[in-house]
Amino acid sequence: MLTIYTKPGCHPCRLTIKTANKLGLNYQEKPAKEHTGYLATLGHASAPVIVDEAGNSFSGFRPDKLRQAA
């Protein structure tokens, strides 16, 4: 399962969720503003941030990485 941290009004966030749905990915969406400390420890300052079960993470709209997770 992926965790996708998003912000309101974030176009890359909407594209990430849309792509995750298209690919049939199992994910949970969480608001980035409630997890800023955690996201900072991962080294990410912009949304969306995607974290897999192993703790690997990336940020931004990355359909290539989402396909790898499928």
- Residues 7-59 have pLDDT tens digits of 999 999 999 999 999 999 999 999 999 999 999 999 998 999 999 999 999 99
- pLDDT bucket at 68, cuts 50 / 70 / 90: very high
Confirm or reject CATH 3.40.30.10 for domain 2-69, answering yes or no. Answer: yes
Amino acid 25: pLDDT: 97
Residue 66 scores a pLDDT above 90: yes
Percent composition of the chain: helix, strand, coil (DSSP 3-state, to 5): 45, 25, 35
Domain map (residue ranges) of the chain: 2-69
Is the model's pLDDT at 5 over the cut of 90? yes
For residue 69, pLDDT over 90 is answered with no
Which strand ranges, in their side-by-side order, compose the sheet holding 57-59? 27-31, 2-6, 49-51, 57-59
